[in-house]
Amino acid sequence: MMKLLDKSRGLVRDALQNLKQGLRAANRQRLYRRRMKRGLDYTAWIATHDTPSAQDRAAWQQWIKAQTKATMVGMVLNAHADSDVVQLKRSIDSLLAQSYPHWQLTVVLPASGTDAQTLLVEKLAAGEPRIQVLSVAGEASLGQLANLALQSRQSAWVGLMHVGDQLREQALLVLAQTAQAYPDAVLIYPDEDRINAQGRRSQHHFKPDWNADYQRSANYIGHVYWMARAHLVQQGGYAADPNTAHEYEALLRCTEGLAGEQIVHVPQVLWHQPTEAQPWSGAKALSGLQAHLERSAPAARASVTEQGLLRVHYAIPEPVPLVSIVICTRNQFKLLQTCISSITQLTSYPRYEIIIVDNGSDESRTLDYLACLPKQDHRIRVIRDDSPFNYAALNNMAVDQASGELVALLNNDIEAIHADWLTEMVGHAMRPEVGCVGAKLLYPNDTVQHMGVLVGPGRDAPDAIAAHYLRGIPRNAPGYANRAIVAQQLTAVTAACLVIRKATFLQIGGLDAEHLAVTYNDVDFCLRVGELGLCNVFTPHALLYHHESVSRGRDMSSKNQARFLPELAYMQRRWGSQLAHDPCYNPNLSHQKPDFLLT
């Protein structure tokens, strides 16, 4: 009778939890749509934040006059036979309008070009010694043309413009200032947007600081960068193969082995591309990425995704390392059963063990299930711990007893949906430069719950100290600048599904059980991993469902505030300076809700 009553109560609880989850999902989607509609208009943002004043221009001239040594910047503009003359003129005019005078422009004209192109360029170059016209006979690839221009003139920095590109009036000034501020820099890249024939700007692209995984996958920098000419020449210039994306290939090759401080991001829109510019092609860039991997990660393989972007498949070493999957639970039979069954029935990774930490379960069906599991599957063991709930301490205890070379922290409300989720995460986790690896987690209604964590100061809103990117967008939506569908480095990922080498876990002392028993321990953990010089990686190619916080409840509920607020205060004390700037985001974007809306 008691077992029947216990089962009935459990079924009622499960039904209520499903109802709550459905209501929360509907509310999240409604709020997301409202936020997107309320996003600040880009034109209004430009007027407020990105329109130079007379005082700005006076300050630029004062800085230029104060310099005793000029930094020469070389720009290359490759024209095609069918290049629009009006667009060509706009690009050249943007150089002529630069506030910084120390530049050179090489315009490469093909022999098959039009008379109108030749007349225009010769007219603009007349009496302007900074403009050089390079006429090329015969067929040549864009990489070969860029190399000819590179060899024809001397400059400290070089950048490639496409016909129709326009530089902001202060672009080369900011470049010179940045090169002076960062004397070791060899690559400098700004933010960008699109511009139409009427001069209206749109489609802003506010970029993160250097992010190697994001660059490999989505070419987020594009051709919008300047490189130290000496370094580019030393590395062999641009690839001559016409089937290679020469700007992408050169960027990958020339950044291999560089320290982070040698690659500088300027969080200002300094470069406009025309609105009709063609999107980047991952298929054309594939050979350049594979060549890069053969030099930097020889066993890795590149492929093109369904969305036309790129993916790197990192090889699993031999012998295949054992992964210890740690799952903390208390009651919640249905959730736990779904979690365990999805792992054991779907996961294709060949070597793993499951350690379930039972934190005081008292429901009979949960207890019966936990008792049967180790008998049914030799890979599963159960550890009983009746101490008060402390997520960090429970996981630390389990990791101490884990046999695996790697540890996978998993919530009991996770459900695997693809066979290769663990293979994908282990491939990244075994890279020597990587610390934590996070997965793409979905709500049961196929909207995004987690694709990485943005850290912030938490002043605008309590959850701004650690908010999930693009929460609530559809499962296959690309997100801002494709960030929801490509692998990338992020400051933090959730421990609801996190893989890391056990040695690294132990090296930093595990999760902080003293100050962060429940909330923010994963964010703090990722930040401490970052202090070791390791990067944390999010991969959307590991896809799972997450029935979020069904067991624990919501942090800002009245019963949880007494625990949550001191943990929030500790994070602000411990990580104040790091929280002020998340290098994987952009200071021009909102921290209150990380939907990549403008500040």
Is residue 367 situated within a structural domain? yes
Selection from 449, 437, 538, 526 nearest residue 487 by Cα: 538
Q: What per-residue string of b and e applies to 311-350 under the rule 16 or more CB within 10 Å gives b?
A: bbbbebeeeebbbbbbbbbbbbbbbbebbbebbbebbebe
Token pair listed for 75: 């720009």
Q: Please state, in angstroms and rounded to a whole number, the distance separating the CA atoms of residues 47 and 573.
A: 36
Q: Please state, in angstroms and rounded to a whole number, the distance separating the CA atoms of residues 477 and 457.
A: 28
Is residue 374 situated within a structural domain? yes
Is residue 559 situated within a structural domain? yes
Is residue 523 situated within a structural domain? yes
- In this structure, the answer to whether residues 440 and 499 fall within a common structural domain is yes
- What does the pLDDT read at residue 30? 58
- In this structure, the answer to whether residues 206 and 323 fall within a common structural domain is no
Token pair listed for 199: 């001069």
- In this structure, the answer to whether residues 425 and 497 fall within a common structural domain is yes
Selection from 214, 146, 156 nearest residue 585 by Cα: 214
- In this structure, the answer to whether residues 532 and 432 fall within a common structural domain is yes
Q: At which of 242, 266, 284 does a domain end?
A: 284
Report CA torsion sign: 536, 537, 542, 544. Answer: positive
* Domain extent for 147: 71-284
- In this structure, the answer to whether residues 319 and 280 fall within a common structural domain is no
CB atoms within 10 A of CB 4: 9
- In this structure, the answer to whether residues 408 and 267 fall within a common structural domain is no
- In this structure, the answer to whether residues 276 and 336 fall within a common structural domain is no
Where residue 133 sits, what CATH number does that domain have?
Answer: 3.90.550.10
Report CA torsion sign: 358, 359, 364, 365. Answer: negative
Average pLDDT along the chain, 599 residues, taken 10 residues at a time:
55 59 56 52 95 97 95 94 93 97 94 86 91 86 91 94 98 98 98 97 97 98 97 96 94 96 98 95 96 97 97 97 98 96 98 98 96 96 96 97 98 97 98 98 96 83 79 96 98 98 98 94 97 98 84 51 81 90 94 84
Selection from 337, 324, 244 nearest residue 289 by Cα: 244
Q: Please state, in angstroms and rounded to a whole number, the distance separating the CA atoms of residues 488 and 467.
A: 17
Interior angle at CA 238, CA 233 and CA 244, nearest 5? 160
CB atoms within 10 A of CB 137: 8
Domain total in the chain? 2
- What does the pLDDT read at residue 4? 55
- In this structure, the answer to whether residues 280 and 151 fall within a common structural domain is yes
Residue type, 388: P
- In this structure, the answer to whether residues 416 and 535 fall within a common structural domain is yes
- In this structure, the answer to whether residues 344 and 469 fall within a common structural domain is yes
- In this structure, the answer to whether residues 406 and 508 fall within a common structural domain is yes
- In this structure, the answer to whether residues 330 and 266 fall within a common structural domain is no
Is residue 269 situated within a structural domain? yes
- What does the pLDDT read at residue 264? 98
Is residue 377 situated within a structural domain? yes
CB atoms within 10 A of CB 261: 11
Is residue 54 situated within a structural domain? no
Q: Please state, in angstroms and rounded to a whole number, the distance separating the CA atoms of residues 516 and 491.
A: 18
CB atoms within 10 A of CB 31: 13
Do the Cβ atoms of 227 and 186 come closer than 8 Å?
yes
